[in-house]
Amino acid sequence: MLSSAVSSSLLILHKPFARVIRFPIPKLPLSPNPRPLSSLSPAASALTPNAVGAGGRAGALSPAPITEDLQKIDVNPPKGTRDFPPEDMRLRNWLFYHFREVSRLFGFEEVDFPVLESEALYIRKAGEEIRDQLYCFEDRGNRRVALRPELTPSLARLVIQKGKSLSLPVKWFAVGQCWRYERMTRGRRREHYQWNMDIIGVHEVSAEAELISSIVTFFKRLGITASDVGFKVSSRKVLQEVLRHYSIPEALFGKVCIIIDKIEKIPVDDIKNELKSAGVSEEAIEQLLQVLSIKSLTKLEEILGDAGEAVADLKQLFSLAEKFGYSEWIQFDASIVRGLAYYTGF
């Protein structure tokens, strides 16, 4: 389609029929003595009834008043965000292409969610402390809303919304923009994009094995090998069995998960203090941290035994990794646990 503005009409040439369509464009009266933009006043910039047409309201389309002193605007994007000029956009599109191709290769369907969600969606499951990381505010309808910090809560909301009308199992993926107001580190900004792949309705470890296989496939497409990156795996069932083993009340499970999730982010002494504040005894803290330092599935089995679900599931996962052909990519680490309540498995 070729288009161009010709005097007071819009000319459109539409191939292959070469149809010519002309749309009249009304001309607004121009002042014979135009003044600089900074000298325009609200009264001078307002449209008059004659300019609007018969029956129009004077000033109905008036722009916002222009101040005399125009302040300089910072041309840099807000802290923690970035622009994507063409050379960066090409790279981003290339990466997102591989996200989508690998997802479809494994039979996943693409979904998306609003960037703006209810604030309660994140606070209810993740705890009040996540407020510090949310870009949240009250909208004009007095509703508390937030820019999504990640995609999983939105996924859970949509699944619940669909209810019984959703045929399980579900294999969905999403590539979405997310926001977190937190301390920036190398390679981590406040605005970021997240690639999610989720399997819902499969209770066996085969779902986790398939997800890991898809990520390994993605890395291989980019030329990344097991010598470059690896995956640390564990299960929240491990932590549950450890708490029972050392007589720590199950009511503390949620709090303990949130604290253990920080184990590589804050000093060990801070972890101990937070566990003590949560109601865990000093003896149980020492035993818990000792177990969480285990990197061998065999040693974990010596402590917990082979009767529990945690050890059995992990054994099955490593067996499937052998069959999928990516066993060299994964290793067991008992300290790996997500602190958010909507994560339940590996």
185: DSSP letter: B
State the pLDDT confidence band at 21, using cuts at 50, 70 and 90.
Answer: very low
pLDDT at 339 over 90: no
CB 172, CB 108: distance < 8 Å: yes
Please provide residue 135's backbone torsions phi and psi, each rounded to the nearest 5 degrees.
Answer: -85, 95
Burial 82-93 (b: 16+ CB within 10 A, else e): eeeeeeeeeeee
CATH of the domain at 329: 3.30.930.10
In what side-by-side order are the strands of the sheet with 109-110?
Answer: 109-110, 170-179, 191-200
Evaluate if residue 186 carries a pLDDT over 90: no
**Helix H or strand E encompassing 290:** helix 282-292
Residue 17 lies in a domain: no
- What span, in angstroms and rounded, lies between the C-alpha atoms of 35 and 4? 29
How many structural domains is the chain composed of? Answer: 1
| pLDDT given for residue 155 in this prediction | 95
Give the tokens for residue 342.
């909507």
Question: Is residue 298 domain-resident?
Answer: yes
Residue 246 inside a domain? The answer is yes
Collapsing DSSP to helix, strand or coil, 84 comes out as coil
Question: Residue 199 carries which side chain, given as an amino acid letter?
Answer: I
**Tokens 């949240």 label which residue?**
136
Q: Once rounded to an integer, what is the mean pLDDT over residues 111-138? A: 83
Decide if 346 is inside a domain: yes
Q: For residue range 194-242, list pLDDT tens digits in order.
A: 999 999 999 899 999 999 999 999 999 999 999 999 999 988 888 888 8
Report yes or no on 302 lying in a domain.
yes
Q: Tell me which residue of 176, 169, 173 sits closest to 196, measured CA to CA.
A: 173
Residue for token pair 């709090």: 255
**Contact between 253 and 343 (Cβ < 8 Å):** no
Q: What pLDDT was estimated at residue 123? A: 82
Tell whether the model's pLDDT for residue 25 goes beyond 70.
no
Tokens representing 130? 């996540």
- Pairing mode, strands 9-14 and 2-6: antiparallel
Does residue 316 register a pLDDT over 90?
A: yes
Q: Indicate the helix (H) or strand (E) that contains 324.
A: helix 309-324
Q: What is the pLDDT of residues 43-98, one digit of tens each?
A: 444 444 444 444 444 444 555 555 556 678 899 999 999 999 999 999 999 999 99
Closest by CA to 25, choosing from 54, 42, 4, 50, is: 4
101 within domain boundaries: no
Close Cβ partners of 332 (under 8 Å, ≥ 6 residues apart): 232, 233, 234, 294, 295, 296, 297, 300, 314, 318
The pLDDT value given to residue 163: 93
**Tally of residues, the chain:** 346
Q: Which amino acid is at 100?
A: R
Mention every residue, 6+ apart, whose C-beta is less than 8 A from residue 192: 177, 178, 179, 180
What's the pTM value of the predicted model, to 2 decimals? Answer: 0.72
According to the model, what pLDDT value does residue 14 have?
41
Residue 19 has pLDDT above 90, yes or no: no
Per-residue pLDDT, 255:
83
**Residue 243 located in a structural domain:** yes
Listed in sequence order, the residues at least 6 apart from 280 whose beta carbon sits closer than 8 Å to its beta carbon are 248, 252, 256, 288
Task: Give the tens place of pLDDT for each residue, 243-296.
Answer: 887 788 878 887 888 888 888 888 999 999 999 998 888 888 888 888 888 888
Tens of pLDDT, residues 158-183? 999 999 999 999 999 999 999 998 88
| 274 inside domain | yes
Residue 120: pLDDT over 80? yes
Residue 285: domain span = 228-346
